[in-house]
Structure 1
């Protein structure tokens, strides 16, 4: 690998921005890190932690910094677009957290900017970098389950994380913010096909009672252009002390030559602690019983971070440093996933099937 030729800019110094910055400091191709955040204190804290340079709350200053050659956009979901466009216009590769945007029109603006200026943008759908799903993709590529005809996935999490997520951004619903991972995962496994119809149903309850008119549980049937069908479900309002520290999931893929059943609930890794275990995303939320390894980004162990975010971050940096291919989602992938999640929510609202493509908006 070449010397430390990547100057990394981190736009958004919250939990995931901080985690990616810490991972990047250990990569042999990263020579410097610059950071910003809407809260200048967060930027200063992260800069001190990783030995980087703080630009306070000025995101554009990070992207304009001549030492910055690549940018990670880890702002809240509704603030991805402006820093992405700025980096694209300046010819700097981007890794942006999912979703790429919150509307199809905003996603199209990213694609239009790439068509005009060129560039390299990848989107952090980190389920792709959980080892079991990389291995599953290999089986599909090798044809070991034959032509795919259907699949299913569902993800559980607690109401504590749902409420915190929507307090940060009311548009980041459980479907748009969480089920989106499994829409992307299925689109990746069913690569080469397009979703043409979505039929979804949801039921409200505790989240609506808390002031958010979104379903506690949602289920959707996705039909692809070759007739393959996939069922997706999300339950993001389980009791606040539910043992998952993030996603508790199950994924199934069926083909004419076989089936894969991928248990990602982590119910085989249970710990009970009198002192409690902190939640990955909720600093004041401890649970006594936990499913170990259910934290969505991964886990710290013996001074190292293990899991999907670590694998994904290193793969992206390797890609930039050496040209090595990576399986991070492209902007086109991310737009298709966003369109599907918005169609799921629209189908629930109108009570009938929705055909794709959606009208941009």
Structure 2
């Protein structure tokens, strides 16, 4: 059976009677009311436009983070915001000068003045909302993950391709000035050929238990950023992974099923040539938000340390220390990164340029997280060939995909499978590739990698 292509959005179904339609706030500036032109589907609608009309789905914590970033991007014009609890949408609209607010996500997607939609809703709604955006000809900026499952993720990517709209996965660490400088050092050979990467990611305190329960587990919810960063810094595709998980902070977490039972984890990712990335994550670090990276090369090493609100230090006869703790969480630590990723996506829309962090990047990060979870639960190295990406079959359009459970269960690391045609819509094979990912995800081409590397190199010079 095919997966349903449903445009029904559960996030918007709770209070329809309370707010019969979008509520328009008084304009605070003539620019907000400027008429839009070229209302056709896809990127061509933006060719005659300087500004990009933005709709936002979700006024929760991450929605507010993105609204703050949009406020720092003059060419992005917030048009409408939705939230099931309409009072939160109204509060955000007033604070960030958004013209309209509603409780209905579909009103955001179908708004005639919206060119691109920022999806900041709970993860389980992402795939359907992306498909609805594609059907409406709206470009998509989606918080990770694109979807909670592989088949749904592939459907969302293919649907956007079929509709000719751009899809960006919000993996903001790629745009952080510190990580950008590390990447630049690698690309320009300042540390020589890379030998190993080390990444540390520790939250100042664990999220509410209700969030952890049903949140996807520490690898999909938290370590996915570090898994993506290891691939971003290595500049190549991983081969296998080993993960260990444990529970130390909250015994209630330890009683949860699967990888949700872990609040602490260590991961080793093996890359071609024996290169490794080591990642440690923990949901609690009392000394502050711990975000560090180190890259060892044959000519040297580059590292990035934690960021502090100020440079003040205290000197006494007993000790020397920073006056304050590091930034307390991702909202403040990655403020510049959120702004930069927003500017880059808006620029790519205005100029019809390449998407800086694609849906495929989000898919690969999800595959890595699934493999890490499998490794931790089974206590062994996991080859990425074991993840049943080739047991996913799509119809000719690529927009209806499903996982063949029997086929998936028969797969193992030593068995090679032919990549499924149509897995990613309009993707050309890459016969020269020998890696698991390039065999299965044929949209990654050598020419694309070289172009992307040059693009990253140029952008990194700005930091």
Query: For this structure pair, what is the TM-score category when the shorter chain's length is used for normalisation?
Result: 0.7 to 0.9
The aligned runs of 1:243-322 (5 Å cut-off) are: 243-244=287-288, 247-264=289-306, 266=308, 291-298=325-332, 306-322=335-351
Counterpart of 1:276?
Answer: none
Classify the secondary structure of the residue corresponding to 2:262.
Answer: coil
1:359 Cα deviation (Å)?
0.7
Task: Determine which structure has the larger strand proportion and give its number.
Answer: 1
**What is the CA–CA distance in structure 1 between the aligned matches of 2:116 and 2:309, rounded to whole Å?**
39
Q: What's 2:365 paired with?
A: 337
- After superposing the two structures, state which structure 1 stretch, 47-56 or 91-100, moved more: 47-56
Cα 1:123/1:157, change in 2 over 3 Å = same
**Partner SS, residue 153 of structure 1:** strand
Cα-to-partner distance string for 1:105-163 (whole Å, 9 max, x where unaligned): 22211222134223211111111121111111111121222232321112112443363
Are positions 1:236 and 2:278 aligned together? Answer: no
- Give the paired residue count: 331
**Other structure's SS at 2:117 match:** strand
Aligned pair 1:93/2:121, yes or no?
A: no
How many Å separate the matches in 2 of 1:205 and 1:306?
A: 30
Question: What are the residue-to-residue correspondences of 1:56-67 with 2, within 5 Å?
Answer: 56-67=102-113
- Contact 1:251 1:264 (C-alpha < 8 Å) held by counterparts: no
**1:271 to 1:232, Cα distance in 2 relative to 1, 3 A:** same
**Match for residue 225 of structure 1 among 266, 272, 280:** 272
Residues of 2 paired with 1:36 and 1:124: CA distance? 19
Residues 86, 103 of structure 2: 8 Å contact kept = yes
Matched with 1:138 is 184
For the pair shown, which has the larger CA radius of gyration, 1 or 2? 2
More displaced, 25-34 or 96-105?
25-34
2:226 to 152, 177, 182: 182
Match of 2:250 among 196, 207, 211: 207
Whether contact under 8 Å (2:307, 2:327) holds in the other structure is no
Structure 1 gap ranges (5+):
273-288, 300-304
**Contact 1:77 / 1:172 at 8 angstroms: preserved in 2?**
no
Matches within 5 A, 1:84-123: 84-123=130-169
Q: 1:351 aligns with which of 369, 379, 392?
A: 379
1:291 match: secondary structure = coil
Provide the secondary structure at the position in 2 that maps to 1:206.
coil
The answer for the alignment partner of 1:51 in structure 2 is: 97
Alpha carbons of structure 1 residues 149 and 118: separation in structure 2 relative to 1, 3 Å: farther
Do the aligned residues in 2 keep the contact of 1:77 with 1:99 (CA within 8 Å)?
yes
Q: Which has the higher contact order (CA 8 A, sep 6+)?
A: 1
Q: Is the 8 A contact 2:239 2:271 kept in 1?
A: yes
Tell me the equivalent position of 1:216.
263
2:429 alignment partner in structure 1: none
**1:103/1:207 Cα in 2 relative to 1: closer, same or farther (>3 Å)?**
farther
Give the TM-score of the pair, scaled to structure 2.
Answer: 0.65
Distance in 1, matches of 2:91 and 2:151, equals 35
The aligned counterpart of 1:281 is: none
Unmatched runs of 5 consecutive residues or more in structure 2: 1-46, 315-322, 390-402, 404-463
Task: Evaluate the alpha carbon distance shift between residue 325 and residue 104 of structure 1 in structure 2; reply closer, same or farther with a 3 A threshold.
Answer: closer
CA contact (8 A) 1:32 1:67 kept: no
> CA, structure 1 residues 184+261, in 2 after alignment: closer, same or farther (shift >3 Å)?
same
Compare 51-60 and 259-268 and name the one that shifted more. Answer: 259-268
Instruction: Give the match's secondary structure for 1:251.
Output: strand
SS in 1 for 2:279: strand
